[in-house]
Structure 1
């Protein structure tokens, strides 16, 4: 029996897994197959009679219009890719095959969903880029800048907020991405009740609404109520060794963009890689710190101090300037250690270190040479009066009584001062001179 092709064609088209769109020259949808519902969430009856450009992702509208005009001039395409917005708000990547029917004045297109493929490619590329950023960065800030570039490619026109949490001080530290970038980092307190605080405190991914007045913090949906706005805020915790390091947040200023499960999975993958890289970088920095600093007080150790002293002497030689080296030894430290115990002695050394840092300049270097011996390197000294003033300030600060094991402890110290170039032109000679003067001071004190 003869086949009624006119009746059969729509049935065949609706059997196709890839949706078929038919659009007139004004962009109005005149036909769409049933497969469109699984692609964009809209039924055929909802889309017919509407403009196809209304469903486009805002970032792809301009180039899609240009390509549509090209097709209507007789240039079919088979590999044009763009993004549409699903009915629930998430982006769908579509690969198009389209041609123009001049007789019917209609553009006929076959749409293939390639979102999963694009996500897989993005995930692979993200892993590579983050690893590349970690390898090339010489600091945690450098890693953050690399992650920012990765996020900008994965989520175009989205704002990124990367926050690290210090549970001891209960503060958040974020990279300073301002235009002038006055600081590398900015600190702020955790704000309870925000979506960001919820992500960090619970260690769980959260979809929320963006708060225009508080970038990055997000608005928590009240229990039992619908979201106060579009789900255009997505926060993922940075977790390493079951500890929350902070959070990775993206948010869109567009109300048309709503994050979906696929976005959560991709951002969670990125966050996992970032947490691993950050933890590794922190471990490396800690090992590097231990190699050059005293483990008890955190001060510069003997090795690093010697390097800084040599550098300072070379600079002073070039600029014909003065350098002062102070060698300090606490008086009666052994008696305090024996009387109050080693733990109290350690606390006394730590307090001494903090006080020495407090009364010296950022350009100066304070070091623990071992036991109860400390050194202070003073650079850019104008004259001897400046050295005397520095020593006087140290004596004043150190004279304040300390409380150890419930007892008031008074600390004094013997000090030797050596000047470059008068007392030595090399690091070894200057240290030897300061050390000798310090012991001479101690002997005079004991004799007196």
Structure 2
């Protein structure tokens, strides 16, 4: 064979090898280019093969693990661990776009990744792998979560404040507030509880949703024993999970706002606690508003010196008593009481002594009647009593008792050389079915009392519709 021919054959044999080397270099350069672009555009870049296994991943350390240790592992198990059992998202022809997933990062800290992928298709259009990138959006996700939580709290608070502007009475305001709280927190019920020992205040101040009474036996001791001022969780023996927050009003009322639901439902999270704490602030405001309303109502109905009913409250309640007694076919009796010689006491010892005598009189009258009877100070030294079910004879017995005992009770107010304080009492009994109005009963009792007064006082007189005795 000639040297020329031999040279031609050698060149023809070397050509495929050179082309293969060149192709290998191009592929390697493409892979490097893909790796660099992926690293610049995202925190993680990787490829998966037709079985969904990692065939390439960058950078050298991913999620606290070396890239080499991840090669050959199923990508979906690493990046979408919560979707085990579902179709591999990296082997779908459509790919994925900015799909977020929470995974365990280095030191098992939760990391949120935003993943996008593009399928690798063969000549027939079947998916034989995928290229993907992932960006760490944990900080952004937390900001979005906080922003969403703040927006939810703002919506809830705006709704509650709007209801507070529309309503006037505290019970209606609180009812709307608790209903909103139940909806916002996914609770089954909510209540505001009194944690103080005041017997005159009910334990359940307000509630909404499912009844709360079954929770109280176990829950109240736990709430009273706690000294926490921030929201906290309690799990009861009946399987109920309770989120609670204690508060104290300016007037000393210790209370707790509670929301409950079964433990089988999702646990309370931090946002739930923050929201309950915000609502508790408004609950405290409403409780204070309610206390003020109660005090204003009490002041509008009571005499500030003695604490007895005032004239208006007495007349309103006496009319209701008359209506009820008429339906029940029972009598009722009105007693007018006027102190004798209070003016000389005021003139000589001052109004402080006169006020003390009025307070003593109120105590004596309250102690003489039953808790359900009415006792009022009508003004000055005039008092009134309404006695349910009493006839004239029984009322006269009480009046005689006062005539005999009150001078001894008020002996400290007797002026030197003068007769002490006594009472002039007028009595008017109303029988069922006679149709007598309250104004007529008042007029009869008042006339009877002044008749005693004109005759020197320290006595009583019974009046009836026919005559004044």
The answer, yes or no, to whether TM exceeds 0.5 is yes
Q: CA deviation at 1:396?
A: 10
Pair 1:435–1:420, CA change in 2 (3 A): farther
Mapping 1:293-372, distance limit 5 Å: 293-309=302-318, 324-329=332-337, 334=342, 341-342=353-354, 344-352=356-364, 354-355=366-367, 358-360=370-372, 365-372=374-381
Q: CA deviation at 1:357?
A: 6.4
Q: CA deviation at 1:45?
A: 10
3-state DSSP of counterpart to 1:162: strand
Pair 1:155–1:86, CA change in 2 (3 A): farther
Correspondence 1:440 to 2:451: yes
1:353-393 CA-to-partner distances (Å, cap 9, x unmatched) read: 643663436xxx543212443334467x6xxxx53476379
Pair 1:433–1:350, CA change in 2 (3 A): closer
Q: Which residue of 2 aligns with 1:197?
A: 225
Query: What TM-score, normalized to structure 1?
Result: 0.57
- CA distance in 2 between partners of 1:131 and 1:400 (Å): 60
Q: Which residue of 1 aligns with 2:194?
A: 164
Q: Which residue of 2 aligns with 1:273?
A: 282
Correspondence 1:7 to 2:19: no
Pair 1:259–1:426, CA change in 2 (3 A): same
Q: CA deviation at 1:424?
A: 8.4
Mapping 1:173-252, distance limit 5 Å: 173-175=203-205, 177=207, 191=221, 194-199=222-227, 204-205=229-230, 207=232, 209-213=233-237, 234-241=243-250, 245-250=254-259
Query: What TM-score, normalized to structure 2?
Result: 0.55
Mapping 1:2-81, distance limit 5 Å: 2=30, 4=32, 6-8=34-36, 11=39, 14-15=42-43, 48=78, 51-52=81-82
- CA distance in 1 between partners of 2:302 and 2:118 (Å): 73
Indicate conservation of the 8 Å contact 2:338/2:425, yes or no.
yes
Correspondence 1:375 to 2:384: yes
3-state DSSP of counterpart to 2:234: coil
- CA distance in 2 between partners of 1:356 and 1:188 (Å): 42
Q: CA deviation at 1:280?
A: 2.1
Pair 1:53–1:198, CA change in 2 (3 A): farther
| Root mean square deviation of aligned Cα | 6.1
Indicate conservation of the 8 Å contact 1:299/1:367, yes or no.
yes
Pair 1:342–1:313, CA change in 2 (3 A): closer
Indicate conservation of the 8 Å contact 1:236/1:267, yes or no.
yes
Pair 1:187–1:302, CA change in 2 (3 A): farther
Pair 1:244–1:392, CA change in 2 (3 A): same
Larger radius of gyration: 2
Pair 1:352–1:140, CA change in 2 (3 A): farther
Q: Which residue of 2 aligns with 1:285?
A: 294
1:141-163 CA-to-partner distances (Å, cap 9, x unmatched) read: 33332222121122113653422
- CA distance in 1 between partners of 2:283 and 2:184 (Å): 14
Indicate conservation of the 8 Å contact 2:242/2:258, yes or no.
yes
Q: CA deviation at 1:257?
A: 1.9
3-state DSSP of counterpart to 2:226: helix
1:374-424 CA-to-partner distances (Å, cap 9, x unmatched) read: 334467x6xxxx5347637966997998998999x9997724114379998
Q: CA deviation at 1:305?
A: 3.0
Report the structure, 1 or 2, having the larger helix content.
2
Gaps of 5+ in 2: 1-28, 49-56, 65-73, 120-125, 413-419, 461-469
3-state DSSP of counterpart to 1:205: coil
Q: How many residues align?
A: 373
